[in-house]
Amino acid sequence: MSANEMGKEDLQPIADIDRIIHEPARLMILAFLYVVESADFLFLERQTGLTRGNLSRHAGKLEAAGYVAIEKKFVDKIPRTLFHLTDKGRQAFRDYREEIMQVLGRLPD
């Protein structure tokens, strides 16, 4: 199938991709939280390589979408910001993964 043969219906799955997740920084955060139970700010920062400002901003967007839960607490008088994926976020990540693989699988060589 050539690119010209792809009609609107073929392109629709691309338009349906979750734009909250379809951003490299947010995708990194979600992918990492998908494989762990929870992580704090410092660990997430080191794993993703994002700056503090970027991590805060993108995590905030994911929280607003209901994909990530952010819990702030004190452990031995030291503040700890814990992130973990919500059930909605886990399902959204799974759906995104399936969608993106389907879209890429349908593209011509």
Binding site for other proteins (CB under 8 A): 31-32, 34-47, 52, 56, 59-60, 70, 72, 75-76, 78-82, 97, 101
CA gap 55, 28 in Å, rounded: 10
Minimum Å distance from CB 100 to other proteins?
Answer: 9
Q: Is the dihedral of CA 34, 37, 41, 47 positive or negative?
A: negative
Structure tokens of 14?
């691309």
Minimum Å distance from CB 3 to other proteins?
Answer: 24
When the beta carbons of 6 and 84 are compared against other proteins, the nearer one is 84
Minimum Å distance from CB 104 to other proteins?
Answer: 11
Q: 40: how many CB neighbours lie within 10 A of its CB? A: 15
